[in-house]
Structures are given as structure tokens and as C-alpha cells.
Amino acid sequence: MLDDQTLDLRHRLLESALTLISEQGASGLTVRAVAKAAGCSTMGVYTHFNGKSGLIDAVVESGFDALDQVIADAWEVAGVGRDGLIATAEAYRAWACESPAQFQTMFAPAIAGYEPSEQTRERSWETFFAQRARVAAALDSADADPAAWHDSTTRLWAWVHGHVAVELMSRAYASESHEEIPPADLSIAIDAEIERVAVAVAS
């Protein structure tokens, strides 16, 4: 079991990594920079994360943990069904807008030399599978062919993620001649998917 001092340093290193990514982008994430920001030697990064790749893994995994939590909370409040799916989509968007650098690192790290560990790869899929279970419940298709609700989840995730990514991009590159793109109505894709599934079941 890790003692409080060890946990505190690990937390500081992770927070320092997140701050550097937020301020400088992924290119600013170096072992030396993280250690300096956390007030320790570079050995601290290697001790707690086994180097830069392990630290990035921790950034990615902590992001999925946080994203999972806000989505689960939104689902619990809104309940099963259309409202639940809309609430999870809005929660996804809100978290991404609050943590854009971590969001980018999770889904498109683009960091030279970084290969996510098998554990991190599996952790990312856990978030998808959790949402797949919600989609199945909302579409009342939990007893249907698993491929059908996997397909529905993929469609909805791609639509929501795509619109959120474009929204974040428009914020980053907004100028006098190019205004920010307003948030999309995320219910549109959800309603379309509900209708598509209903038609498929009826046919």
C-alpha cells in the first residue's frame, strides 16, 4: 500500500502533466518539465510512472475515469431512455469543453514515441462498453443481436465526438473572420438513431 507522501507526489506529477498539456500542448510534456513543475527530480517520474509513456498512460486513464463518472452521473439523474442518452451526450460535451487538452490526449495524443500500454487500451474500451450498455437499455434492445446495439453506440459516439471535436477546434482557431461554431443540438442524432432502430425492429 502506498503511503500518503508517495501518493501526494504521484498526484503532483499527474497534475503537473495535465497543466503542461493544457498550457503547452502535448509537445510540452517532457519528463524534465513535469518533474520541475512537481518540485522533484526526474527520478520521481520514473519511479511512479516508469517514464514518459507511463505518465501519458496515467493522463489518459485518469481522463477516462473522469469522463466515465460524469457520464454515469448524468445517466443516473436523467434515467433510462431518450433523456438519458441526451444527458450523457451533453455530459460528454461539457467534460470535453472543460478539459480540452486532456480530451485531445485521450483520443488523439499525437505524441512522438508514445504507444499506449495494453492496460490503457483496455481502459479506453471500458468507457465505450459502459455507454454501449446504456444505449442498449435506452433503445430497449438489450436482448437483441449485440452487433445491433454495438452499431448504434458507434454511430452515436461518432456523431457526438465529431461535433464536440469540431466545436473545440473552432474555439482554438476562432478569429475576427471565423467565429466559434455554436454547440450542436446533440439530440438530433439520438432521435434519428431511435427512429432508425424502431424502423429496423418493425420491418
pLDDT range class, residue 2, cuts 50, 70, 90? very low
Global pTM value: 0.88
> 150-193: per-residue pLDDT in tens?
999 999 999 999 999 999 989 888 888 888 888 889 999 999 99
pLDDT of 159 = 94
> 60-91: per-residue pLDDT in tens?
999 999 999 999 999 999 988 999 999 999 99
Closest listed residue to residue 85, CA positions, set 197, 177, 175, 168: 197
Contact, 34 vs 65, CB < 8 A? no
Contact, 133 vs 85, CB < 8 A? no
C-alpha cell at 104: 485531445
Task: Give ∠ CA 103-78-191 in degrees, rounded to 5.
Answer: 80
pLDDT of 84 = 96
